[in-house]
Amino acid sequence: MDRNDVFARLPEVLLPWYEEHKRELPWRTDREPYHIWLSEIMLQQTRVEAVKGYYARFLKALPTVAQLAEAEEDLLYKLWEGLGYYNRVRNLKKAARIVMEQYGGEFPRDYASVLALPGIGPYTAGAICSIAFEQAEPAVDGNVLRVISRLTDDHTPVDLPAYKKQVWDSLRRIYPRRAGDFTQALMELGATVCGPDKKPDCKVCPCRDFCAGYGNGTADSLPVKLPKSKRRKEDKTVLIFSCDGRYALEKRQEKGLLAGLWQLPNLPGKPDLQDVLGSVEQMGLKTKDVLRVTQRQHIFTHVQWDMQGVYIEVAEPAGGFLWYTLAQIREHTALPTAFRQFLEELTDV
């Protein structure tokens, strides 16, 4: 069976399989474009089980695009806290404002207009247009690329843009009338039976009879990917200042990694304790006691932070910082996981 025949078989096989085997997920209960958009943005780099709670909380706080467009930044960050990649939620608000201002609050229906919204790439645009509006617009992500590479026994690196474009073109030609179900069926197959970081479960795969990778015994070795670039490492010293049950926080700069979010005060590198205390004095704080020093790590996509945390009790809440209790931090401030982990040693924040 050649490549075109493999693609042609997909709708007739996957649609009935999806009806029988699809997972019950909260964003599959309707075809509201706001819900589909929000779920797809949240699911980027994040597991389905982790997203469920965030999705419910976000929609409870901001049930409409209009409310998202007007939401305060601190509320958005708090709702997103722990999901990471905070630029996603900033772009959600930017896009919501465009929907309100340029489209009268109605989500645009054509692919080009959806794709032009901030934070929406070809995959998300395809997901919205196919699932919400039944348009023949493929949503090609890592799951779909993995499925297609195995079905066609293609050893081209799937992270090459040309390969993704080829798959997108091939899928677009065979999209059925039930476009939304077909998009979700491909997603479901790639997330479960033909899932990432495990051997494909070929014995239950609906495509086994025409899968070239299965037939040739190569499915386990696919997909092929380009070598990853080495992650950069940075040393940091995180300062956990406490005074009378309150802890020092400050806002990060508006550009760069974790832009605009709260952080614990920190220093570059890992200076020795005497140098740390000298820096504390320069910040306008008087050290009463050094409580302890811990070592932690946090991994971003391209950067790894190796951190020492220095817990310091100070004489008074000074230094130009804002001082909050742990309860206030838990309820009102969006503190990235990289910093929050140091407070979790004290209590469940």
> Catalytic amino acids?
40
Label each residue of 189-232 as H, E or C: HHHCCCCCCCCCCHHHCCCHHHCHHHHHCCHHHCCCCCCCCCCE
Q: How far apart, in whole angstroms, are the C-alpha atoms of residue 10 and residue 300?
A: 36
The residues near 114 (Cβ < 8 Å, ≥ 6 apart) are 107, 108, 120, 125, 128, 129
* C-alpha distance across the termini of the chain, in Å: 56
Phi and psi at residue 325, to the nearest 5°: -75, 165
E-assigned strands of 300-340?
303-314, 322-325
- DSSP symbols for 52-81: HHHHHHHHHH--SHHHHHH--HHHHHHHHT
Q: How far apart, in whole angstroms, are the C-alpha atoms of residue 9 and residue 275?
A: 67
**Contact at 8 Å (CB) between 149 and 224?**
yes
Name the residue among 238, 237, 240 with its Cα closest to residue 312. 240
Q: b/e string for 116-125 if b means 16 or more Cβ within 10 A?
A: ebebbebbbb
- Count CB atoms within 10 A of the CB of residue 347: 10
Structure token pair of residue 153: 């026994």
Q: What is the number of alpha carbons within 13 Å of residue 44 lying toward its C-beta?
A: 22
